[in-house]
Amino acid sequence: MLIAVKSVLKELESVFGDRLYTEPQILALYSREASSESGRLPLAVVYPLSTEEVVELVRIAIKNRLKIIPLASSTSLSGNTIIEEERTVVVSFEKMVKILEISDVDWYTRVQPGIRVDELNLELSRYGLHWPVDPASARAASVGGVIANGGGGVKGARYGPASHWVLALEAVIGTGDVIRVGCSTVKCREGYNLMQLFIGSEGTLGIVTEATLRLAPLPQSFVGVMARFQDIMPLVDAVIEVRRSRIWPTVAEFVDREVAKLVGLGDGYYLWLGCEVTPGGEENMLNALSNVLSSRGEVVAVASSLGEFNKLLEPRRRLYSAQLNAAFEEYGADAFLYIEDIAVPISKLGEAVKAIEALARKYRVKYAMGGHIGDGNLHPAAWARRSDEEEMSRVRQFYLEVGRLAIKLGGTISAEHGIGTHKKALLREAATAKGGDVVLKLMKELKRVFDPYVNTSVPHMWQRGRGTTAPGAGSTSSSLRLQTAELEKRRSGGWPPVCTAGRATSSAPRGYRLPR
Ligand SMILES: Cc1cc2nc3c(=O)[nH]c(=O)nc-3n(C[C@H](O)[C@H](O)[C@H](O)COP(=O)(O)OP(=O)(O)OC[C@H]3O[C@@H](n4cnc5c(N)ncnc54)[C@H](O)[C@@H]3O)c2cc1C
């Protein structure tokens, strides 16, 4: 095994040169993600610069029976980037970050997968355009990660998730073939829509090396409000009434009382509503919003531009860090946070939030909730002491029951975070609820077609077990991770130590030996 590892690394080095990393300290950074999960250390991390290098990687993987896991910023929240198998090579897109083309007539851009959403949107804003998939993690999340997770974001109420905003993809599948699927036109009818299969596939069907993204013009004018409520039900009623009034907000986000406290807002539940308007229509829209809100809550701030609204929304963007802080304040490094990601039809939101409260009482869990309420997407996050198996089991049960609730209400177990290691069991339940296991069988067949050697990615969805719960810290920002890796390489000089892909069971990586 050790000899084979040495020769595999030599093969990888012949393709990636000094963009191959095997230092345990660096590998440890890739064994964690933003969720509380951590997994095994990979055998190596490589940073390709081109599609050709990814093809070479897949060929080496086929020959040596390696697993590959593609990733970029590891901001996933369901265990999507967690390594469960030995002989896994991480392919990180942190160096493939180019914008290849922007068409201000066709309203598309062609990009490499590692570019971060905020960086792309900053550049697009010079053309009066944007990619409207705007996760709250947009500062770190990569386009490739958002596509592979089928991500959504704070503009989801109007623009929907990534599946609405990708036109075409280039991907390397598990045979080593490069496929180009989709078109650069919005209308595209060329047989089966294989492109959509990749959206939300969590890297299990192939490695995306280029994406053509559909763009929208930046709004000409934008207004918004932040409102406070004494209870969750009037807030939900307000969201429903907005829909009944045929107001189509771009942003409809909320946080509960617990989160409001954690992010420094006053006591209460908070709702943000932001709307695109034609110039001249600002006052009408603000009046319409205030009519809906004032009988149910109180408008505490008004924004008359997108810039102003983004500032108002800042506390909402801190939802996840607030939930994480609450867990860490209570349990320190022993904290484990489970973040739910269900969506229900808007008309069922009231029922959903009441049932979530009841489940939290039943399982005696501490939780805080916020989310993209405008598209029915709720993120209750519950925390436990990792070393307390009884508490962990109650929180896990709460997490599962919330997923089941979504199924019962005609919603989904995951709106945007994906299945990862956390939701394998729920995926099965969701499929069964929709008429049986045939759908799962079809998915497994598809996996086999795209990835016959089961190399191109770790197929979390199809593995047994619940996934790891080994201790791990949160994710490291990808540029910081890359800088650390480069620094480490310079410091160590020469050929780095070879690893045997041991399991990371503490913050200090273990399981490393020098080759004989
Ligand atoms: C503070 C915070 C807020 C968040 N808010 C949101 C939100 O509002 N909406 C939302 O949708 N998510 C949100 N998330 C979750 C997460 O940011 C998103 O899922 C994001 O899309 C992941 O991007 P990434 O670059 O970190 O991908 P990674 O975590 O690195 O990878 C994600 C998945 O994509 C696969 N993958 C990555 N690159 C490729 C590639 N090139 N080819 C094939 N597969 C690939 C990986 O294998 C993995 O399965 C949030 C997370 C945090 C920490």
Quote the CA–CA distance of 225 and 465 in Å, as a whole number: 45
- Residue with CA at minimum distance from ligand 1 atom 52: 137
The model's pLDDT over 394-427, given as tens digits with 9 standing for 90+, comes to: 999 999 999 999 999 999 999 999 999 999 999 9
* Single-letter amino acid code for the residue at 463: Q
φ/ψ of 366, rounded to 5, equals -90, 130
Distance from the alpha carbon of residue 94 to the mean position of ligand 1, in angstroms: 13
Measured between alpha carbons, how far is residue 288 from residues 254, 420, 447 in Å? 19, 41, 49
Distance from the alpha carbon of residue 161 to the mean position of ligand 1, in angstroms: 13
Distance from the alpha carbon of residue 91 to the mean position of ligand 1, in angstroms: 15
Closest atom of ligand 1 to CA, residue 206: 43
Quote the CA–CA distance of 375 and 253 in Å, as a whole number: 9
The model's pLDDT over 271-321, given as tens digits with 9 standing for 90+, comes to: 999 999 999 999 999 999 999 999 999 999 999 999 999 999 999 999 999
Predicted confidence band at 488 (pLDDT cuts at 50, 70, 90)? low
Sign of the dihedral through C-alpha 257, 259, 265, 271: negative
Distance from the alpha carbon of residue 98 to the mean position of ligand 1, in angstroms: 18
Ligand 1 contact via 137 beta carbon (within 6 Å) = yes
Q: Which fold has domain 320-422?
A: Alpha-Beta Plaits (3.30.70)
Which of 392, 371, 390 has its CA nearest to residue 380? 371
Task: Label the pairing between strands 88-92 and 67-71.
Answer: parallel
Q: What was the pLDDT predicted at 498?
A: 30
Ligand 1 contact via 152 beta carbon (within 6 Å) = yes
Sign of the dihedral through C-alpha 263, 260, 312, 374: positive
Put the strands of the sheet holding 166-173 in their side by side order.
99-103, 108-111, 206-214, 166-173, 178-182
The answer to whether domain 1-218 and domain 221-317 are alike in fold is no
* Burial readout 84-93 (b: 16 or more C-beta within 10 A, e: otherwise): bbbbbbbbbb
Q: Any idea where the domains of the chain sit in the sequence?
A: 1-218, 221-317, 320-422
Most ligand 1 atoms within 8 A of CB, residue of 54, 149, 208 to mutate: 149
In SS3 terms, 41-97 reads as CCCEEECCCCHHHHHHHHHHHHHHCCEEEEECCCCCCCCCCCCCCCCEEEEECCCCC
Question: 472: part of which helix (H) or strand (E)?
Answer: none
Q: What's the Rg (C-alpha) of the chain?
A: 23
Q: Hey, which bits of 262-324 come out as E strands?
A: 269-277, 298-303
| Rounded mean pLDDT, 56-63 | 94
CATH class of the domain defined by 1-218: alpha beta
The model's pLDDT over 104-149, given as tens digits with 9 standing for 90+, comes to: 999 999 999 999 999 999 999 999 999 999 999 999 999 999 999 9
Distance from the alpha carbon of residue 51 to the mean position of ligand 1, in angstroms: 21
Yes or no: say if 251 and 313 are a contact pair by the CB < 8 Å rule.
Answer: yes
Closest atom of ligand 1 to CA, residue 76: 29
Yes or no: say if 35 and 337 are a contact pair by the CB < 8 Å rule.
Answer: yes
* Single-letter amino acid code for the residue at 167: L
Closest atom of ligand 1 to CA, residue 420: 49
pTM of the predicted model as reported, rounded to 2 decimal places: 0.91
Question: 296: part of which helix (H) or strand (E)?
Answer: none
Predicted confidence band at 487 (pLDDT cuts at 50, 70, 90)? low
Measured between alpha carbons, how far is residue 133 from residues 111, 123, 127, 339, 424 in Å? 15, 15, 17, 20, 25
| Residue 145 φ/ψ region, left for φ over 0, alpha for ψ in the -120 to 50 degree band, beta for the rest | alpha
Predicted confidence band at 3 (pLDDT cuts at 50, 70, 90)? low
Ligand 1 contact via 48 beta carbon (within 6 Å) = no
Q: Tokens 């980037």 identify what position?
A: 81
Q: What was the pLDDT predicted at 493?
A: 46
Q: What was the pLDDT predicted at 436?
A: 76
Ligand 1 contact via 92 beta carbon (within 6 Å) = no
Ligand 1 contact via 356 beta carbon (within 6 Å) = no
Looking at domain 221-317, its CATH architecture is 2-Layer Sandwich (3.30)
pLDDT at 514 over 80: no
